[in-house]
Amino acid sequence: MWLTPAEWQIVRFTLAVCALSTAIILPLGLAVAWPLARHRWPGKLLVETLVTLPLVLPPVATGLLLLKLFSRRGGLGQFLHEHLGMDVVFTWRAVVAAAAVMSFPLLVRSARVGFQSVNQRLEQIARTLGASNARVFFTITLPLAARGIIAGIVLAFARAVGEFGATIVVAGNIPGKTTTLSLEIFETVQLGHDASAYRLLIVSALIAFGAVWCSEVLMKRSALR
């Protein structure tokens, strides 16, 4: 085997966590991108700023905010710990949370552009043909915005795979539990295990290629058939 079993576990873990985080932010991201793209409403600027924040803050700062939010003392973490016996900090859940928060803005931005590119005339016509708002959204808007949305998903996934700063703060680097590809590359460099570091680097590049290839396939198959 070219990669050690431990390295394989890390790759599988990273892909699983990033797929999960992307799946989680998808409905939420679309729900936020849509009103941002279409309407003007009070508080819009605030939401725009909040959504962009993880993009602009240093990742470790975002990690710190997540640490406070999910800490066992006070906040969400306390609730989860006491009522559900569930911990977030220093577990895989924190990895998902960090990946989700850091990649969210990229999805929203891309999806927003996708929505903005949809000809509103077509949505109007759909309504004259009797379609409800939900039907218009799912049968007209979404398919026509598909390019932007797919690009957003791929970007978000890629960002999740590359995520480091927030992850190491809120999830730590626990072998077998929270170690992701990025964290492991960092560790192997620290320890001087350069051969391992290069192997993992190649895997990262392959994942990047894979993501771009997927997006090309999806775009070809999407909306404009």
| Total of residues contacting other proteins (CB under 8 A) | 35
Nearest to 141 by CA among 47, 219, 30: 30
CB of 72 to other proteins, least distance (A): 5
Three-state DSSP state, 108:
helix
- Told to check if 132 binds other proteins by CB under 8 A, we report yes
Token couple for 50: 């909040």
Within positions 73 to 102, which residues make up the interface with other proteins, using CB under 8 A?
Answer: 73, 77, 87, 89-90
Going from the C-alpha of 137 to that of each of 112, 113, 118, 140, 171, the distances in angstroms are: 14, 15, 11, 6, 37
CB of 12 to other proteins, least distance (A): 19
Binding-site member from 65, 76, 131, 219 for other proteins (CB under 8 A): 131
- Burial pattern 131-164, b for ≥16 Cβ within 10 A else e, equals beeeebbeebbbebbbbbbbbbbbbbbbbbbbbb
Within positions 5 to 64, which residues make up the interface with other proteins, using CB under 8 A?
Answer: none
Q: Which residue, 70 or 157, is less far from other proteins as judged by CB? A: 70
| 104 residue type, one letter | F
Residues that bind other proteins (CB under 8 A): 67, 71-73, 77, 87, 89-90, 121-122, 124-132, 139-140, 143-144, 168, 172-175, 187, 190-192, 223-225
